[in-house]
Structure formats: structure tokens, C-alpha cells
Amino acid sequence: MRALPVRRIATTVLCASLLIGTAGPVIAAESDSPPSNAQEAARAPVAGADALLAQAKTLGDAGGVLTPVTDLLTAVLKADKGQLPAAEAAKLAEPVKAAITKASAAAPKAPEAPALPQTSTLPEAAALPKAMPDDARAAADPKADALKALQTAVDTLLKAATGGDVAAVAGAVPTVLTGLVNVVAATLLGGGLPAPDLAGLPALPKLPEAKLPAAPNVPQAPALS
């Protein structure tokens, strides 16, 4: 009589084993099955993700410039009389140049204005001005100009910080700080970023628009009699 419970236990274990053996391939098949439409929808990117990623990258590029430049400024301002050993100055200058070069490559290029039609077939046609004057072309790419000016300011600071001229260091540091502010401003104004909405914050100025000069009036050809 004592064998009966043992048989029942063995029978239960056997049934459970058969059930697990039968369900195992089904579970494996379900895990290997392609994702359903609901799963694909859950993995879909955020609406407008490409534009938002571009904005995030724009800020990241600006931040990548700020960090090495501020590291250089901190080292110079903490050094005795603002002087750095040549090796330390070169070590600090390398990431600055790399960051500015990277940000310059990522800066959007200003579109060139289309060439104006030629009027040389008319008699005594007046010469037309350039499609876009140099000053207007420069204003169309403020971020690139700001990055270039910042690199020049950094070079001036490095020269002063390794040349023993304390007065030159004092004059170069504010120029570098202004260059950093210009890079940030150009990034915010020209990077397609959302407008700030902080209460009490003054409105940012708009970038100057490059406009083509008006073409001079061309005299009409005399009518043939």
C-alpha cells in the first residue's frame, strides 16, 4: 500500500515532464518568431528625431569647444604671472584646435547667391556688381567667422602665456572670453535651435540678412528706324 503514493508521485512527475517537453519547442518558437507590429511600433523613433538629433549635435559641438578653451583659460589664470611652460601650453592648445576644427567642419555652409543674368548683348551695357559683396558673404556664415576669430584669439593668448609678457596675457584673456561668447551666440542664432523661453530673458537679436544690391538700370537700345 505504501507504493501507491510513490506511483502517484512518479506519474505526476512524468506528466509534468511530458508537458514541459511539449511546451518547450513552442516557447522557443515564440521567442524566435519575428517581432509583431506592436513590438515594431514600440521601437519606432520619436517623431522628428532627426531634426532633434541635429539640434543636440549643434549644442554638443559648441560644448566641445567651450571645455578645452576654458581649460586653457583656467590654466593661464592660475599660473604664476600667467605664464605656462611650452610643453603644457602645447598640450592645452591641441584639444582646442581639434575642437574648433571639428566644429568648423560641422558648421553649415552659407548658400551662394545665383549669378545675375548677363546683359552684354545690349549696347553700352553698364557693368553689373558682384552677385554678393564680400562683407555680405561673411555675414552669411557667422558661426564659421566666430570659430576662426576664437582660434586667432587663442593663438594670441598662447603666445603671450609663453612669452613672458604679463600685460599681453591680461589683454588676451578677455578677447578669448569674448570669442567664446560669440561662438555660443552664433550657434544659438544660426543652428536652428528652439527660441529660449526663460521668463525675463531679453530677445536675441536676429542675424543680419545678406541681400543682393540692386542692379543699375540698363539703358534701352535705340529703336531701329
Asked if 134 and 199 touch (Cβ cutoff 8 Å), the reply is: no
Specify the DSSP class assigned to residue 163. T
CATH of the domain at 103: 1.20.120
Residue 74 lies in a domain: yes
Asked if 180 and 98 touch (Cβ cutoff 8 Å), the reply is: no
If one compares 58 and 163, the residue with the highest pLDDT of the two is 163
Asked if 104 and 148 touch (Cβ cutoff 8 Å), the reply is: yes
Residue 217 lies in a domain: no
pLDDT in tens, 98-154: 999 998 887 655 545 555 555 555 445 445 445 455 554 445 688 899 999 999 999
Measured between alpha carbons, how far is 40 from 20 in angstroms, rounded to an integer? 30
Least confident of 67-81, 113-127, 205-219: 113-127
Residue 61 lies in a domain: yes
Residue 220 lies in a domain: no
Burial of residue 176, with CB atoms counted within 10 A of its CB: 0-12 exposed, 13-18 middle, 19 or more buried: buried
What is the domain count for the chain?
Answer: 1
Measured between alpha carbons, how far is 54 from 57 in angstroms, rounded to an integer? 5
Confidence check: pLDDT of 214 > 90: no
pLDDT of residue 14: 44
Average pLDDT of 9-33?
50
Measured between alpha carbons, how far is 106 from 109 in angstroms, rounded to an integer? 9
Range of the domain at 63: 49-109+130-190
Mention every residue, 6+ apart, whose C-beta is less than 8 A from residue 214. Answer: none
Asked if 195 and 124 touch (Cβ cutoff 8 Å), the reply is: no
Residue 94 lies in a domain: yes
